Structure 1
C-alpha cells in the first residue's frame, strides 16, 4: 500500500514525499512510515522515495518483531 505524491520541483531535479502503511494481521494495528526521495526526473524521485519508505517500514517491522 504505497501512497506516492510529487510535492515540488527543485532547480536541478525533483523530490517526492511518500508513505507506506504496515498492518499487523494478528492485532489489526497499523502504522504509517514516511519517506522522501529525489532525482533528476519525476520517476527517479518517486522510485527513490518508495525505496526509502519501504526500507523504513522494514526497519520498523524488524524493531517491532524484536519487542514481541
Structure 2
C-alpha cells in the first residue's frame, strides 16, 4: 500500500527562502537568520537552502549599523 503524500516528505530540491529586510533592521537579525542556513549547507555539502534578501520597496534598506541591503 502506497504512503499518502505529505508535506514532511524529504525533497531533493533546495528550499528557497526570501528574507524580507525592513529599514532599520539590525545586522544581527539578518545574520542570525541566514547563518544557520549557510552552516547547514556547509555541513551537508550541498546548497540545500537558498535565499534571497528582499526589501519592501525593492530598494536598498538601511540597517542600524549604517550599511544597506541588498
Give me the TM-score of the superposition, normalised by structure 1.
0.29
Bigger-Rg structure (1/2): 2
> Higher helix fraction: Structure 1 or Structure 2?
1
> Higher strand fraction: Structure 1 or Structure 2?
1
